[in-house]
Structure 1
Amino acid sequence: MIDQNKKENWREIIAAYGRPSVKRSVWQIINTFIPFFLLWYAAYWSLSVSYWLTLGLACLAAGMLVRIFIIFHDCCHGSFFPNRRANEVLGTLSGILTCCPFHQWRHSHSVHHATSGNLDRRGTGDIWTLTVEEYLALPRLKRLAYRLYRNPLVMFGLGPSYIFLIEYRFNRKGAKMKERLNTYLTNFGIVAIAGLLCWIIGWKAFLLVQGPVFLISGLIGVWLFYVQHQFEGTYFEKDEKWDHVDAALRGSSFYKLPKVLHWFTGNIGFHHIHHLSPRVPNYYLNHAHEENRMFQDVAPITLLSSLKSLNYRIWDENRKKLMGFGYIKQFLMKEKESTQ
């Protein structure tokens, strides 16, 4: 249970961690981007030795690409560098590598932070989550679409390719010119880099290396985003009852990973702290957790327990729990019994 006094003073508690360090940020660029490029080249070199070696190196490169995405993510929040322009430049460059347009993603993700766990303001930058009543009110085709969307094979198999290769290539409705131009610049950068590499090493070699790097990093990225809010004990409330602190500390997971995985994922497992204050750079999230009991009181999920999240498909407002599709039959039976 979260201490009420600490909950009320959360701004004071978190303020000490919200100042980016240029030194630490530059070092993170060095220990992330350089290993990524070296691993990518090593994976290409290994094609002449063994493709199993290539796949091993591609897995490590994918891990570094996830870490690059976290830097991109911090730039979108303006928390990686103290300077706004520096965040935009690095965010755009890292967005090209991760196939994410900086301004577009910054907008949708800021909406996600403002509405996470709010049943009345869902739909932008989040996982499509319906309540039982909403699901039952849908026509058959939309129910089927929702079931397919929530199927792990679709969400983690086809989902990453659709999101990163197709969805992010188009501007959202109502986007301003600066955002549109940034999307065009990102698309041009992706095509230019891919085209240049295909010209230098050949399209087959490019796909044999970049294919697994993209697929593995995309799967990891979608899984992390999914498990950060779709877990046992998560938080959803109607707008009039929704609370920012509860949405952060109860509706965002503390994903307790081995230290090496925390490093590769840029400490995003401390997601409860990140949602409380997205101004905290990724390299301070673990310090904030270790130095404050308020954050340690949040129940963690582990690699093993997080697999249960695959069974959660729909929100029951009565139980205030995520349930599987099998629960719908029980719900209908109870509804039928109550009307008899």
Structure 2
Amino acid sequence: MSRQYLEDDLPEFTPMSWRLQEIREAIPSRLFVRDTRRGLAWLALDLLMAAVCWKLAVHIDPTFRSRAAAQLLTPAGAIVVRWSCWIVYWWFQGLIFTGIWVIGHECGHGAFSANRYVCDLIGFIVHTALWTPYFSWKISHHRHHCNHASMERDEVYVPKTRSDLGIPEESNDGKIDYDEYFGDTPVYTLYMLVRQQLLAFPAYLLTNVSGQKNYPRWTNHFDPNSILFTKEQRHAVIISNLGILGMIALVRLACIAWGAASVMKFYGIPWLCVTHWFIMITYLHHTDPELPHYRQPEWNFQRGAAATVDRDFLGWMGRFFLHDVAHYHVVHHFFPKMPFYHGEEATQYLRSFIGEHYHRSDKPVFKALWDNYNDCQFVEDTGDVLFYRNKKGQAVLRPAATHGKVKAETGSDL
């Protein structure tokens, strides 16, 4: 017999009370130093790997469509091997492209170099090449870091509330039939999850999906007059848009020269892999039943930064190709200007200092994606410290009845 769920039996959570400066002082200052040449070396390696993969892929179709391959492998066998080679190419080129995108992400935070112009030049080029409006996304992503886990001000992955989903409040009069609201079949859930993985990032850029619900309709990253931007940032948004228009022209010319099918195989599908990996990484960074969200006055910068989780993402491939973006994300939220290559060592100091407030998960990431998509449905309409509830309305933690409150900080290292 399953144990009855009782809210009072849940473990209690008390938000951290340290100031940001105390946490920073626990990490050696040398780990905050940005080395432009080291960053350029990583970018050069990424570009070299992408070029090698591209060059090898050029030979896939001619090799396995040849008469010799059909005779050696049989016609059906040659087809199977040919498409298997394409799948291998898409896997690794998608990871390499994602690593290049991560370099652009480093540039957006100023972590690539102490020189802002170097960061913006490289970031604009690599993000534009991967269909990300660099300055526009940089602006909203900066605000996400400044306000992470704030129900009122965070820019992305803002949880839906009970009232958003039309679910009535719990009462002693009778139980809520949660199946009426979440009674989806596994097949439908899988469909929604695949849709999220492939379309969520373009949808966020175009329509503010998962962003603040109080923004005007059609809020997006391409409108210079959007609520996302100030008047002073309009020109940067326009530059980002011009970059995307340039990419449209380049891809059109490539389709004319080599054919749309070739462009899709060599570039389009690896780019789709980038959107998949990027959404999966960020979703799992910020979505977990054990991560708190805050309303005022309980939110402050360091509490929001701690409301993220490090994950063992694809093992050595995630570390090498993705530049530790998933393995050491918590320290990145505390100190976004810290270079990724210092993340592992800095995390050791951070974890030692904040203790139980540091979150790490070794759960296989595809299982975590499925579990969290099902277990993180909504938060309550009331309360200042909130935890996700699952499809049965159950949480895994509850805020302590009383806990200390500290003055909110904006953080100085953004």
* TM superposition score normalised by structure 2: 0.69
Separation (CA, whole Å) in 1 of partners of 2:206 and 2:128: 11
Paired residue secondary structure (2:153): coil
- The one-letter amino acid of 1:29's match is L
* Corresponding position of 2:25: 12
- The one-letter amino acid of 2:368's match is S
Separation (CA, whole Å) in 1 of partners of 2:113 and 2:234: 25
Q: CA RMSD in A?
A: 3.1
Query: How far apart are residue 157 of structure 1 and its match?
Result: 3.6
Query: How far apart are residue 227 of structure 1 and its match?
Result: 0.7
Q: Does 1:306 align with 2:336?
A: no
Moved more, 102-111 or 238-247: 238-247
- The one-letter amino acid of 2:393's match is Y
* TM superposition score normalised by structure 1: 0.82
> Of Structure 1 and Structure 2, which has the larger fraction of its residues in helix?
1
* Corresponding position of 1:327: 393
Query: How far apart are residue 255 of structure 1 and its match?
Result: 1.2
Matches within 5 A, 1:221-300: 221-249=278-306, 251-257=307-313, 258-269=315-326, 270-292=328-350, 293-294=352-353, 298-300=358-360
* Corresponding position of 2:258: 201
Moved more, 8-17 or 226-235: 8-17
- The one-letter amino acid of 1:65's match is F
* Corresponding position of 1:332: none
Aligned 8 A contact 2:16 2:303 in 1: no
* Corresponding position of 2:223: 171
Matches within 5 A, 1:144-159: 151-159=192-200
Q: Does 1:84 align with 2:116?
A: yes
Aligned 8 A contact 2:26 2:349 in 1: no
Instruction: Quickly say closer, same or farther: Cα 1:26–1:158, change in 2 above 3 A.
Output: closer
Query: How far apart are residue 325 of structure 1 and its match?
Result: 3.5
Aligned 8 A contact 1:315 1:323 in 2: yes
Give identity over the alignment, percent: 15
Paired residue secondary structure (1:234): coil
Separation (CA, whole Å) in 1 of partners of 2:43 and 2:355: 29
* Corresponding position of 1:62: 94
Instruction: Quickly say closer, same or farther: Cα 1:166–1:188, change in 2 above 3 A.
Output: farther
* Corresponding position of 2:176: none
Paired residue secondary structure (1:322): coil
Instruction: Quickly say closer, same or farther: Cα 1:161–1:42, change in 2 above 3 A.
Output: farther
Matches within 5 A, 1:34-49: 34-48=48-62, 49=64
Paired residue secondary structure (1:189): helix
Paired residue secondary structure (1:136): coil
Deviation string for 1:280-304 (max 9, x for gaps)?
A: 1111111212355236752311242
* Corresponding position of 2:166: 136
Separation (CA, whole Å) in 1 of partners of 2:271 and 2:24: 38
Separation (CA, whole Å) in 1 of partners of 2:329 and 2:41: 22
| Gap regions ≥5 residues in structure 1 | 329-340
- The one-letter amino acid of 1:213's match is P
Query: How far apart are residue 128 of structure 1 and its match?
Result: 4.0
Paired residue secondary structure (1:170): coil
Moved more, 258-267 or 213-222: 258-267
Query: How far apart are residue 237 of structure 1 and its match?
Result: 1.0
Separation (CA, whole Å) in 1 of partners of 2:393 and 2:207: 34
Aligned 8 A contact 1:232 1:322 in 2: yes
Instruction: Quickly say closer, same or farther: Cα 1:13–1:23, change in 2 above 3 A.
Output: farther
Paired residue secondary structure (2:41): helix
Paired residue secondary structure (1:246): helix
Q: Does 1:73 align with 2:73?
A: no
Aligned 8 A contact 2:287 2:372 in 1: yes
Query: How far apart are residue 37 of structure 1 and its match?
Result: 2.7
Instruction: Quickly say closer, same or farther: Cα 1:204–1:8, change in 2 above 3 A.
Output: closer
Query: How far apart are residue 273 of structure 1 and its match?
Result: 0.4
Instruction: Quickly say closer, same or farther: Cα 1:234–1:209, change in 2 above 3 A.
Output: same
Separation (CA, whole Å) in 1 of partners of 2:342 and 2:111: 11
